[in-house]
Amino acid sequence: MNVHEYQAKALLREYGVEVPVGKLAMSAEEAEAAASEIGGTVAVKAQIHAGGRGKGGGIKVVKTPADARSAAAAMLGSRLVTPQTDVEGKLVRRVYVEAGTQIDRELYFAILVDRSTQNVVVLASTEGGVEIEAVAAETPEKILTVQVDPLVGLSDYQVRNLGLDLGLEGKQAASLVKLGQALYRLFVEKDCSQVEVNPLVVSGDSVIALDCKLNFDDNALFRHPDIRELRDLDEEDAREAEASDYDLSWVSLEGNIGCMVNGAGLAMATMDIIKLYGGSPANFLDVGGGVTPEGATRAFRLILADPNVKAILVNIFGGIVRCDVIAEGVIEAARSIGLKVPLVVRLDGTNAEQGRKMLEESGLDIVSAKGMADAAEAVCKVARG
Amino acid sequence: MSIFVAQDTRLLIQGMGRMGQFHCGLSQEFGTEVVAGIAPGKAGLTLQGVPIFESVRDAVRETGANTSVVFVPGPFAADAVLEAVAAGIGLVVAVTEFIPVRDMLRVCHAISGSGSRLIGPNCPGLLSPGEKIRIGISPSSIFRAGEVGVVSRSGTLTYESVNQLSKLGIGQSTCIGIGGDPIPGTNFIDVLDAFEKDPATRAVVMIGEIGGSAEEEAAEFVSSEMSKPVAAFIAGRTAPPGKRMGHAGAIISGGSGAAIDKLQALEKAGIAVAESPAEIGKTLRQAAGL
């Protein structure tokens, strides 16, 4: 789960990390008031769940409250396109007005999980304020890493050494140790999957988190009701959010073949094989292991709600999922909403015979396929029309 | 012969709820000896003909259980794994999905050096058709005994490939789902190493997917340490970056974990890669000369 910058900064402040003074504004008037309350130069920052906002005009540094008002007015209600959004961009619903900060140097600091070593890893770089992926690709030696045994935790000396390697001196290094420990505590206590401060600015004797991105482990949200409350459904794809309410795993894509599959691996492989046969998937959908006829019906409704969908492929290899349950859901959804596009179904595994028979007897216009290749070929053909 | 388990497998089921009981029955039908179950507040009862205990410690003491399968829900699963290892269970298979990453980091570090092995979480488990051992949730009817080892991050793609192999008349020695989570107890290399040393395995099918770099590491292992032929498939060539594709571990992030990097690493290691998920069986047959 992602959160906005202003929410992340509130958490950082709670953990004792130095961040600039800032106020959230929902309107141009509020932005003006915030700027005059903060005083001096301020940054007006669009709050969306995507990085690279500066490049898209989503961050403006202004000197007066009147300028803060006009900067906010231009952002609010507009769609912000950044290197990390799609071409449509994201609607800006709120801005964050933040005190200007003296910037001596821009660094990078992050904490995440290293899947290979099964450790927590702290990353730091002298190359702050730019995309870290570009730094990693072009000058990997400029990314410093510290492995942290999760049973031991982060030691002060590890951050101190990082500070030395980053060229920090005296009180700056001490400030980094304090920040590093606070962020590590936040990472662990709130079950973050990523804490990224970019840039981390050196300002006089201090290091200050000028921007911050927090991601949380969805599987751990059950123990963090406070974090769950920060979820902003407006920032999520509507169908992905609806699917998650039914325990369906959905990702919206840009093609025209709707997919309903059981299991994440098979669902990805189904997208791949559609592409191989010249088609293009409209979605990724894993109905999961415990799917009920109602769940299958809902899944099917979600697919049918996409106006781009020209054909549907149901690909089920029944293990725990029973093919007759899927067939029941498909029939129910097709009957109640009306099936206006061709449907190709491949059922294999548990109760496949029974499922196929149910579909046959339903009177619905369904192409029954044997195996994945047959199914993909058939659905790509009908999608082309 | 199977890897990781022996004929003297005495299976304990942690979490004898609806799902635990259902799969207990299927494992028993397959011929696996299930000796005990854990269900809170049900100690003393018998479910599926299996005695129920309050703790793994008691179950091990009373029944000599040496292997366990975990169906306990995500919030409590890490505790269940640690309990099993502390009680001396040598192989723990965690089927459970949705275990927090932080819990798995702790578990993996805590049990390393214990001598116990964890398979999973978020996996279908282990099945050895020749030994009649089924630990987990795989549909046993598609398997047939033979000499191909299967290791996969995906449950349904394991079934898909096993089904293709069986239809070609190619049987399996041991099939292991290592799970779709970012922090697995057992990784590709652990399983590949065991298959290389297993006299009952002649060739291996490896199914990977986007996210992390386990496939790249496995490719390196295959090229430097393995003599047996390996065929592979990678799911998610068409997956967009930054999106979690069902599995918690299946995400392309920070410029790493893309299918293309994995495919290149596999090909460089001389592994036969199936272009299509419908050709996994055929690719193995050709690579192994079967």
User: pLDDT tens across A232-281, in order?
Assistant: 999 998 889 889 888 899 999 999 999 999 999 999 999 999 999 999 99
For position A339, what pLDDT does the model report? 84
DSSP string, A124-157: EES--SS-HHHHHHH-GGGEEEEEE-TTT---HH
With H, G, I as helix, E, B as strand and everything else as coil, classify residue B35.
Answer: strand
Active-site hit among A6, A108, A184, A246: A108
Q: How many residues does chain A have?
A: 385
* Res. A289: pLDDT tops 80: no
pLDDT of A221 above 90 = yes
Q: How confident is the model at residue A85, as a pLDDT? A: 87
Using CA atoms, how far apart are residues A253 and A74, in angstroms rounded to an integer? 30
User: Are the C-beta atoms of residues B258 and B241 closer than 8 Å to each other?
Assistant: yes
Residues in chain A with CB shorter than 8 Å from the CB of B238 are 268, 271-272, 274-275, 281
pLDDT of residue A114: 96
Q: Choose among B99, B101, B156: nearest Cβ to A266.
A: B156
| DSSP states along A236-254 | S-HHHHHHHHTT-EEEE-S
CATH number of B143-290: 3.40.50.261
Q: The dihedral of CA B73, B74, B80, B85: what is its sign?
A: positive
pLDDT in tens, A81-104: 998 888 889 999 999 999 999 999
Residue B204 confidence (pLDDT):
98
Domain limits, CATH 3.40.50.720, in chain B: 1-122
Q: Which of A236, A320, A323, A374 to mutate to test the interface with B (most CBs of B within 10 A)?
A: A320
Query: What percent of chain A stands above pLDDT 90?
Result: 78
pLDDT digits (tens, 9 = 90+) for A169-202: 999 999 999 999 999 999 999 999 999 999 999 9
Within chain B, which residues score under 70 in pLDDT?
none
- d(CA B59, CA B41) in angstroms, rounded, equals 14
Report the pLDDT averaged over residues A122-141: 92
Q: Write the CB contacts of A356 (distance below 8 Å, at least 6 apart in sequence).
A: A323, A327, A345, A347, A368
**Residues sharing a CB contact under 8 Å with residue A169, sequence separation 6 or more, in sequence order:** none
Give the pLDDT of residue B72.
Answer: 97
Residue A180: its pLDDT value, please?
A: 98
What is the predicted pLDDT for the residue at A293?
79
pLDDT at position A337: 81
Min CA distance, B36 vs chain A (Å)? 22
State the complex-level ipTM: 0.95
Name the segment(s) of chain B with CATH classification 3.40.50.261: 143-290
Residue A213: is its pLDDT beyond 90? yes
Banded pLDDT at A332 (limits 50, 70, 90): confident
Alpha carbon distance A18, A11 (integer Å): 11
Q: Tell me, which fold does domain B1-122 have in CATH? A: Rossmann fold (3.40.50)
Q: How close is the nearest chain A Cα to the Cα of B62, in Å?
A: 31
Q: Which A residues 121-150 touch B at CB under 8 Å?
A: 132-133, 136-137, 149-150
Q: Which residues of A touch B73 (CB under 8 A)?
A: none
- Residue B193 confidence (pLDDT): 98
Share of chain A above pLDDT 70, in %: 100
User: Testing the interface with B: which of A90, A111, A112, A115 to mutate, by most B Cβ within 10 A?
Assistant: A115
Residue A370, pLDDT score: 87
Cα first-last separation, chain B:
20
